[in-house]
Chain A
Amino acid sequence: DTGVSQNPRHKITKRGQNVTFRCDPISEHNRLYWYRQTLGQGPEFLTYFQNEAQLEKSRLLSDRFSAERPKGSFSTLEIQRTEQGDSAMYLCASSVTIGTSGGPGDTQYFGPGTRLTVL
């Protein structure tokens, strides 16, 4: 399977614990995105990388959230001191983009998501 993969698929944690999710994009996709989706809502943008550079962060990404893409391949999203409001589906997407301005080819392909439940 050459699609976007995410691990773990489900994570249950207690409030105050730290959690880390991993995303493996489609091979050779240079852009990687993180979104958060709560029940009954559409995904909301969190951040994105072009290669290893983090180019944009949403104001939704509080100081407790950090994302990395150390070698321009897989990415991790860490949430420190989890709160019940962090419970959501965390989605990763990837795309292949020429240059910096993007265009019609920037189709984002999504992974299956990691469902986080904070008790």
Chain B
Amino acid sequence: QKEVEQDPGPLSVPEGAIVSLNCTYSNSAFQYFMWYRQYSRKGPELLMYTYSSGNKEDGRFTAQVDKSSKYISLFIRDSQPSDSATYLCAMYIQGAQKLVFGQGTRLTINP
């Protein structure tokens, strides 16, 4: 079993929809949680960064962490065609430094 599980999709929604992306993890020692966006044949780009449990909002994006359930989410409001990309969750333990990624969810926003 992988340390971080993420539904690979693909996920296709109409423009303007609310998108929910999720990851589960098995290692309770993870402390820092990120969401990266990766366009085709490009490197991952950091979208959101959260520490421990709680919510964080940045524009149309909201990240949620529920450490008791070992579950993290990314919500995208008013989705745009330019949001079409692969979304990767990632996490790490302070002191361990290496990021552990999910498989990535491929998202398409249809105009």
- List residues of A (93-119) whose CB comes within 8 Å of B's CBs: 93, 97, 100-104, 106-113, 115
Residues of B within 8 A of A110 (CB): 36, 43-45
For the complex formed, measure the closest distance between the CB of A92 and the CB atoms of chain B, giving whole angstroms: 8
- List residues of B (81-111) whose CB comes within 8 Å of A's CBs: 88, 90, 92, 94-95, 97-104
The residue among B34, B49, B98 with the most chain A CB atoms within 10 A of its own CB is B98
Q: Indicate if B80 sits at the interface (CB-CB under 8 A).
A: no
Interface residues of B, CB < 8 Å — how many? Answer: 27
Q: Among the listed B41, B46, B101, which residue makes an inter-chain contact with A42, where contact means beta carbons less than 8 Å apart? A: B101
Cβ–Cβ contact A91 & B98, under 8 A: no
Cβ–Cβ contact B43 & A42, under 8 A: no
Q: Indicate if B60 sits at the interface (CB-CB under 8 A).
A: no
Q: A41-B104, A110-B45 are in contact. Are A102 and B97 (CB under 8 A)?
A: yes
* Chain A residues within CB distance 8 Å of chain B: 4, 31, 33, 35, 40-45, 48, 55-56, 58, 91, 93, 97, 100-104, 106-113, 115
A selection of 20 A-B contacts at a CB cut-off of 8 Å is A33-B97, A33-B98, A35-B99, A40-B103, A42-B103, A43-B99, A48-B97, A56-B97, A56-B98, A97-B97, A101-B94, A101-B95, A106-B32, A107-B49, A108-B99, A109-B46, A110-B43, A110-B44, A113-B41, A115-B41
